[in-house]
Amino acid sequence: MAMEDQPQGRASDLTALAEAKFGKLSHAEKLLLEKVPSGDFAICGPKRDRADSNPTKEDDDDPRNNPGGPDKWGEARKIRADLVAWLCTDQEAREHVHWRGIQVYGADVTGPVNLSFVNIPFQLALQHCRLKEAINLRWAELSQLDLEGSLVYGILAAGVIVKNDVLLSEGFSAVGEVQLLGAQIGGDLDCSGGAFTNPPRNIAGSGNALHADRIKVKSSIFLRASTVNGEVRLLAAQIGGNLECDAATFTNPLQKDLAGSGTALNASSITVVGSVFLRHGAAVDGKDTPFIARGQVNAIQAEVGGQFDCSGGDFSNSEQAGVENSRKVLWAPRITVKSAVFLEDGFTANGVVDLYGANIGGPFSCRNGNFQNATLNLTNASAGSLTDSGLNNVPAGAVADEGPTIWPQQDKLLLDGFVYGRISSEGGINVKERLKWLGRQTRAPFRRQPYLHLAKVLRESGDSNGARQVLEKMEELRRSGEKPVGGRSSKWLAKIIDLARIRMARLWSLFLKVSIGYGYYPGRAIRLIILLSVVGWIVYGASYDARTMVPTDKDAYKEFKDPKTERQVPPHYPTFSSPVYSLENSLPLVKLGQGDKWQPDPEPDGWSPVLVRWFLRLQILLGWLLATLFVAGVSGVVHKE
C-alpha cells in the first residue's frame, strides 16, 4: 500500500470502530473521522475554497459559520462530545489520530466535553464550533487548545497543562465562566478579539468572566480588542512575556448589594517579565480605540519588568454614595515597574488612581493625561523622572505639539513622599506653574516634603533661584497654616489670646518674608537697610533745614539755636550730614561720628521734632532687627530643611 493511501485506510478503520461504539454517525462525525488520521481540518460548514484543506478568513466572515447566529446548522453539522472524548481517551482510537490532533471547523458539538485528568498528546482545535455545555479540562494535559471563533458555555480548566498555546480569540465567545485557575501554558494565552460574558447576578458561579488566578504563562497573555462583561481575574499570575489588553473593554462596575461587582481587572500580585499594556489601539477604520475599564483595575503589589502603559485608556467606576471602593478605578499601591509608567496621550480617569508606594525605575509620564475628575495618590511613590505637559517653559520658536496635563482639582493630588530624579523639560521648569501644581495638594495638614523635593530637583538642574522660590513659598504656607497650641482656663479669654497670637504670628511671618524671604533671601535685609537709610536721609535733611536737628553739646546747641548765628556750630564741632547720620543709625555697632553729636531737638517747638525722634527710634530698632535677621539667614538659623 502506498504511503498516501494509508490515511484513507486508517480513516476507514477508525470509522468502523466509531460505528461499533456509537452507532449511526452524522455527516460531520464521519468527516471528523476521515480527517483525523491526516491531521487536516474537518470543515463542517460551507467553505468557499474547497481546494484548501484549512479554513480561511473568508470562511470566518461567512455568516453561516457564525456559531452565535440563528440555529440553522441542522443535524449534519452535529458532533457528539462523547465521540471527541473517545478519540482522546480510547487507546485504540488514539492510535489513529495524527500528531496535529483533532481539528474541527464549524461543527455543533452536543453534550458535555469531559476530558478532566486526561493526558492528550495532541492538539484539540474546535474552531467556529458551538459547544452547548461547558468543556471540562480540569487537570488535563494536552499539546494545544484552539477554540478560535467558537461559542462555548463555560470552560472548566483548573490545573490544566498546555504545552503550547491556548487560543480563545478571533471571535471566540464564552457565556459563563472561563476557568483557568493554576493553569500552566507553555506558549501564549491568546484571547484577542474574544468576548467573555459572566456578569455578577448573585448566582453561584457568576461574576468571573475569565478566572485565571495563579496561572503560569511562559509567553504572553493577549486580550487585545476583547470584550469582557464580568471580572478578569489574574491574581498572582506569572507571565513570561507581556500582558496586552490594548483596545479592550472590561465591564464590571460596582453595583450596590451585588456580590462580585466592582472589579473589571484583578491583576494583584501579578508577575510580568515583559510589559503591561492597557492602551488605545488602532481599530479597523484606522481610528484609535481606547482601552476601557468600567470597574476597578487592580495591580496591587504587581511586579512588571518592562512598562506599565495606560496611554489613551479610559478608567471609571460606578460611584455610589456611601459604598466603599466605588471611586477606585486604578488601584496599584506598591506596584514595582522596572521601566516606565505611562498615564498619557489622552488617558482619562474618573475616580481614584492610587500609586501609593509605587516603585518606578524610569519615567512617570502624564503628558496630555486627564485627571480632572480623579484623585491621584502618589504618596511615598518613586520614579526615575517626571514627565508631563503644560507646566514647563516652551523653547523659543517651538510649538507645543500636545495638550497640557490636566491635573486633579484642589485637595485631590497627594504628593507627600513622592520622589523623582528629574523633571523632563526641554525648555526649563516653570517654577510658578510648579508651585500651582503643588498647591493642588490638601492644605491641612501642611506637608513640606513635596516642596523640599522640588527645590532639590531645581537645584540639581542648576536653577538655584527657582529652588529658593519654592522654599520661600513652603515657609509661607507652613507658617500660615500653623495654629496656636495650649489651653486656657477661660474660653473667652483663650479665644482673645489665641486670636492675638495668630495675628502676631502672621505679622511676624510677613516681616520674615519681606525682610529675608524666610532665610532663603537674606540679601533682602541689606536692601531694606539701604532703603531705610535713604528714607532717614530725607527725614533728617528736612529736619535739619527746619532747625529741629541740633547738636548734643550744650554750648554748640546754644550757638546753633541762636538766631544771630544762623545754625552755626563751633569750628571744632562736626558739621551735620544727613546721609551719614541716617546710615549710622541704620547699622548697629557702626559709629561714624554723627549719632552721638546730633539729635532731634530735645526742646521741641511743635510736633516735627517729636516725630523725627520716634522715627529715629524706629530706625534703630529696624536696623538691629534687619541686621540680626541677615546674619541668621546667612547662617541658616531661620530655616531648617
DSSP string of 108-177, one letter each residue: EEES-EE-TT-B--SEEEEET-EESS-EE-TT-EESEEE-TT-EES-EE-TT-EESS-EE--SS-EEES-
pLDDT at position 60 is: 75
Alpha-carbon distance of 365 to 424, in angstroms, equals 9
pLDDT, mean of residues 63-72: 81
How far from the centroid of its chain's Cα atoms is residue 120's Cα? 44
Identify the weakest region by mean pLDDT among 25-39, 71-85, 535-549: 535-549
How far from the centroid of its chain's Cα atoms is residue 166's Cα? 32
- Read off φ and ψ for residue 417, nearest 5 degrees: 90, -5
pLDDT at position 93 is: 93
DSSP state at residue 575: P
pLDDT at position 427 is: 65
pLDDT at position 184 is: 98
Mean pLDDT for all residues in the chain: 87
Distances (CA, A) of 305 to 212, 268, 300, 338, 619: 20, 15, 15, 5, 66
Is 70 exceeded by the pLDDT of residue 379?
yes
Q: Between these two residues, 397 and 279, which has the higher pLDDT value?
A: 279
Q: Three cell numbers at 436?
A: 500651582
pLDDT at position 242 is: 98
Q: Report percent pLDDT > 70 for the chain.
A: 88
**How far apart, in Å, do the first and last CA atoms of the chain sit?**
92
Q: What number of other Cβ atoms are within 10 A of residue 36's Cβ?
A: 27
pLDDT, mean of residues 296-313: 97
Q: Between these two residues, 179 and 45, which has the higher pLDDT value?
A: 179
Residue of 299, 152, 194 lying closest to 239 (CA atoms): 299
Alpha-carbon distance of 149 to 106, in angstroms, equals 9
Alpha-carbon distance of 515 to 512, in angstroms, equals 5
Query: For residues 387 and 363, is the Cβ–Cβ distance under 8 A?
Result: yes
Residue of 323, 353, 315 lying closest to 258 (CA atoms): 323
Is 50 exceeded by the pLDDT of residue 488?
no
Residue 197: pLDDT band (50, 70, 90) is: very high
Quick one: 92 exposed, middle or buried, by C-beta within 10 A (0-12, 13-18, 19+)? exposed
pLDDT, mean of residues 586-597: 84
Alpha-carbon distance of 311 to 528, in angstroms, equals 52
Q: What number of other Cβ atoms are within 10 A of residue 213's Cβ?
A: 20
- Read off φ and ψ for residue 244, nearest 5 degrees: -115, 120
